A = this chain, B = another copy of it.
Amino acid sequence: MDMKPNSPPETNRSLPIALLRAREKVMGPIRAMLNDVGVTEQQWRVLRVLNERGTLDPTEIAERSCLLLPSLTRILQTLEGKVLISRAPHPTDRRKQLVTITGSGRQLIVDNLQESQRLNQWLRDSFGAAKLDELLDLLNELDALERDSGR
């Protein structure tokens, strides 16, 4: 037990940094793929959510794609400009809107989904399916934690 008192965690044992580095490893190739198509990682997330879940309002898109509403507002404007999504007013609540992916949007996903899945599969093979699942379980547990937080 030769641990120094109050020894702060090395940057390698810092969870925020470790999460950041891991994310970079995984997203790097995906970002490169999307860069060729002209959409960002965040725009891709929004399109995938809309493709999987159908028409949604911005608040739910934000939750599912892990974006804050101010960012999403700008992203939706961009995607609408590219005609990858369309927006319609909510029939009863005039504060809301309904966002739908367009045919072009779906096509963009179709064009890139295979490559995306290939990258996923490569990760599974390289890292190991068991460890990947274990990692996902731990991350989801961590996320499910703290509904109160230590502050």
Q: Does A4 contact B (CB under 8 A)?
A: no
**What sequence of 0s and 1s flags, for each residue 107-150 of chain A, a beta carbon within 8 Å of any chain B beta carbon?**
00000010001111011001100011011101111110110011
CA distance A126 to B18 in the complex (A): 19
Do A139 and B16 touch across chains, with their CB atoms under 8 A apart? no
Q: Does A26 contact B (CB under 8 A)?
A: yes
Residues of B within 8 A of A118 (CB): 150
* A37 smallest CB distance to B (angstroms): 14
Q: Which of B33, B52, B134, B151 interacts with A29 by CB under 8 Å?
A: B151
Q: Does A91 contact B (CB under 8 A)?
A: no
CA distance A106 to B135 in the complex (A): 36
Known: A113-B8, A127-B145. A140 touches B18 (CB 8 A): yes
Find residues 6-50 in chain A having any chain B CB closer than 8 Å to their own CB: 6, 8-9, 11-13, 15-30, 32-33, 41, 45, 48-49
Q: Does A66 contact B (CB under 8 A)?
A: yes
Q: How many residues of A contact B (CB 8 A)?
A: 57
Do A23 and B25 touch across chains, with their CB atoms under 8 A apart? no
- Report how many copies the assembly holds: 2
Residues of B within 8 A of A90 (CB): none
Known: A126-B146, A143-B25. A136 touches B30 (CB 8 A): no
Do A139 and B66 touch across chains, with their CB atoms under 8 A apart? no
Do B140 and A12 touch across chains, with their CB atoms under 8 A apart? yes
Closest 4 CB pairs of A and B: A122-B150, A18-B139, A19-B23, A22-B139
